[in-house]
Structure 1
């Protein structure tokens, strides 16, 4: 793949990037011969579990200038970008909105890679939201940026399946590959100036905000299907779904739809042991086998035997 543009010199791009999508898409640009005079990323946040690749490390590997400003709209950074005279600006999982000053820097357009099949799941945490809502597919979309988030016309997108027991982490791995494919196959036409774009029908999707650890509380009235989707959407490395038992959080990290071995005691949302396994019983009586769980502050997993010893019984209703 040639990175030369219409006037014969290599295409040049300023890149805003973070996370695995940022790593893979930056490598796609470099592999295509695109010059990258400036990479802007984030400093890893204190207290955040960093389970993903480092854009800064890739930039260092290739000797690229890399900045991690608290405010990306720093005038000196904008001036440096303008001086580089980039053809394109790309945003690959960068976490902050870029204002019009940045969008006007590239001569041939600013583009963002989003982790959903736009116009569905615009906004934050699109993979987690798609899993939480029980979707059967999601994907990656390359689109032109404008002043509104995930709003501009689409260049290309690729769907990936969501299996019924996939966690958001597993789906994110698929979306990362989809993003790499979408960029690699779109880049030649972008550079040649022949890429076609189509407007989004925003009525076919909606905007979603970010999620907090507290949002992982399992609703008392949720059925087993809804609980399973919540658990999958928040499975590690994300802050997991939880319920409160005797004033202490129990994190439910993996579940499976399965037939219970018999009637389960109690009522309401509850955690039950049958002596061999743990079961999460919804208020309507539907059930999930708990494959992985732990109590807040405990390093060891919570299994059936440990549960019975801790609670002196075989079932405990969730605190409400």
Structure 2
């Protein structure tokens, strides 16, 4: 039986929580947790701890929240902790080389895509937006590049037609924790073979911008179906009707050739809004009128006048 590893965990948001929990449930020792500083959130601008800190506090772990990890002070902290391995999951900042390479087993990362596809900040959203039938998580050995390190352990997961970026975030977060536990066990047994990434297959997943949510109804229904799901919950897909913004959710492709101009509402009833695209129709089953909450289309129709012939722009 191998000795427990001394592990430093670096992560910040909800996505990283199942991975930290997987380490806490393992025979290895989490000797320290590094996360981003507390930030002000909400209307009251109250200082809130990140989700990883909340779990670390509950587990009684030493917590470090440096404003910068590129200082001699932080490197000294890592030296004093003397980890065998560092695990990074959505920490939020690029790690300097001397920190990455300090542990004897290096630093590994849980990334929310099947690398080398979708390197970058928003891999889950782009996989859904592009209509990929599957995605997954990759346990990788970190290097100085942006998600360019050797692949250690990839795990695939199908994307259903009802999945959104939000649902896939939850699924991949849980999958990441399970994959991490398996990968570390194999690493301890010497059964992980690093595989260099194929640069010819690499693609990037940059952070999304709010304006990417403004839909172009002259696109095909299938393309819009993927975009709306990939933009849910943020920044969300939207359009304008009578100068008011409407956000769209829960789309469904209706395979019937559209005869109206793109963006035109062909039908508005309890089943949703049937909207013309470049090809077929797209049914929107949930909507969020400006200044209101997300709701089923039927509820919206009870309070707002939306009729066939109206056109979203």
Which segments of 5 or more consecutive residues in structure 2 lack a partner in the other structure? 44-49
Alignment of 1:130-209 (within 5 A): 130-209=127-206
In the TM superposition, residue 283 of structure 1 has moved relative to its aligned partner by: 3.7
Change (3 A) 1:264 1:118: closer
Deviation at 1:152, TM superposition (A): 0.7
Residue 59 in structure 1 maps to residue 53 in structure 2: no
Is it true that 1:316 corresponds to 2:310 in the alignment?
Answer: yes
Task: State the partner residue of 1:256.
Answer: 252
- Tell me if the contact between 1:240 and 1:252 (Cα under 8 Å) persists in the aligned partners: yes
Q: How many aligned residue pairs are there?
A: 306
Contact 1:273 1:307 (C-alpha < 8 Å) held by counterparts: no
- Tell me the equivalent position of 1:121: 118
Q: Check conservation: 1:159, 1:178, Cα contact below 8 A.
A: no
Contact 1:249 1:295 (C-alpha < 8 Å) held by counterparts: yes
Matches within 5 A, 1:35-54: 35-42=29-36, 43-44=38-39, 46=41, 54=51
Change (3 A) 1:242 1:104: same
Secondary structure of 2:87's aligned partner: strand
CA offset at residue 259 of structure 1? 5.5
Match of 1:13 in 2: 7
Q: Secondary structure at the match of 2:41?
A: coil
Give, in whole Å, the separation in 1 of the partners of 2:2 and 2:35: 23
Q: Is the CA contact (8 Å cut-off) linking 1:279 and 1:287 kept in structure 2?
A: no
In the superposition, relative to structure 1, how do residues 265 and 297 fare at CA in structure 2: closer, same or farther (>3 Å)?
farther
Offset of residue 47 of structure 1: 5.1
Residue 155 to residue 95, structure 1, CA distance change in 2 (3 Å)? same
Which consecutive unaligned segments of at least 5 residues does structure 1 have? 5-9
Q: Tell me: CA distance 1:146–1:312, structure 2 relative to 1, closer, same or farther (3 Å).
A: closer
Deviation track 1:277-320 (CA, whole Å, cap 9, x = no partner) reads: 4324244252122110011211363635744864464332223x
SS of residue matched to 2:248: strand
Q: Distance in 2 between matches of 1:213 and 1:181?
A: 33
SS in 2 for 1:207: coil
Residue 93 (1) aligns with residue 90 (2): yes
Separation (CA, whole Å) in 2 of partners of 1:253 and 1:305: 14
- CA distance in structure 1 between the aligned counterparts of 2:182 and 2:158, rounded to whole angstroms: 20
| Cα-to-partner distance string for 1:70-92 (whole Å, 9 max, x where unaligned) | 32324322211111111111101
Secondary structure of 2:105's aligned partner: coil
Matched residues in 2 for 1:160 and 1:91: separation?
A: 21
Please give the TM-score of this superposition, normalised by the length of structure 2: 0.88
The structure 1 residue matched to 2:215, chosen from 213, 218, 239, is 218
Are 1:284 and 2:286 an aligned pair? no
Summarize the Cα distance change of 1:313–1:172 in structure 2 as closer, same or farther, 3 Å threshold.
Answer: closer
